[in-house]
Amino acid sequence: MDGASAQSRSGLEVRVSLAPEQRGNGPVMARVTVTNLTGAAVEISETELPSEDMETAQFVVMRNGQQVRYEGPHIKRGPVMAAEMVRIAAGATLTYDIELSRAYDLAQDGSYSVEFQSRVASSAQPSLRSARQDVRLYGRTLATNGISTTGLSSLTSLISYSKCTVTQQTQLVAALNQAATYAAQSKAYLAGNTLGDRYTWWFGGVTSANATIVRNNFTAIDNAFATKAITVDCGCKKTYYAYVYPSQPYKIYVCRAFWSAPLAGTDSRGGTLIHEMSHFNAVAGTDDWAYGQSAARSLALSNPLRAIDNADNHEYFAENTPQRQ
């Protein structure tokens, strides 16, 4: 395998290696190594390190100069806990073998480039990154490599459950009703003539183009809660709030932090469902550029185009706590 490396923060070098040419429809594998080049141990959150489970969009994949969309899970996370910190000894190397084709559409022949980029949960800036690695793929077919692009076509408001207790189902009905209320209220606000502090706080300065995107996003979110068949899966035991696969509407996986969240307010159950619904390609197709109110606010100030594409900004706009006009 060839490799491409770059030195990131805290003296950690990240290298991505792939076979320069690959033929056929087999899985596309990348090896990622993280080496501590300093003379002391370094601590880093496991969410910043490569994930062999492909739990987040940690790669920038380009095909013939066009970015390939990430189709793996989009996860709403809480603050990093002490148990999630990884200690890398001086001079040590961590190695990860990643199946890129599990979460990126590599079904077409072409010239690809792959770059590792992870972000701190509270920042939109990469914390670890590699140099770009080029690879040529031949003999691919127009399949989805296991990435489902089939959504639910029902126009009913039926809710179905998987692995949920009766108590959880009752709580989910309340959460879905709260999310639907948030979506309807947000849509109504955006339909008004004046976009005030509530809009600019979470999405930056008002421009016609950006405001139209946000309006369309909340119109689609409102429509999804009102008319689509939603499935909620309660089987996740991770510490996350929830996650979805953006190409698989309208199935939402709720996790441990979801159940300890309040029904309404900041980082609530209702708001979490807004966050997750916004991720679906059939709805708003948002990304996770930053997590948490502080980072979302900073994103609105520094990069409105990313703010209007960030799921947490949509959630916090909908929750509107503290209340803004």
Residues classed as catalytic: 276
Taking the C-alpha atoms of residue 68 and residue 54, their distance in angstroms, rounded to an integer, is 15
Taking the C-alpha atoms of residue 288 and residue 306, their distance in angstroms, rounded to an integer, is 9
Taking the C-alpha atoms of residue 152 and residue 150, their distance in angstroms, rounded to an integer, is 7
Taking the C-alpha atoms of residue 170 and residue 110, their distance in angstroms, rounded to an integer, is 49
3-class secondary structure per residue, 168-192: HHHHHHHHHHHHHHHHHHHHHHHHC
Alpha carbon distances (Å) from 184 to 140, 178, 193, 223, 286: 44, 10, 17, 9, 19
End-to-end C-alpha distance for the chain, whole angstroms: 56
Hey, what are 306's tokens? 């990313």
Amino acid at 141: T
Taking the C-alpha atoms of residue 27 and residue 241, their distance in angstroms, rounded to an integer, is 30
Residues, the chain:
325
Task: Please report where in the chains the tokens 């996003």 appear, as a residue.
Answer: 217
Please give the angle made by the CA atoms of 120, 100 and 109, to the nearest 5 degrees. 130
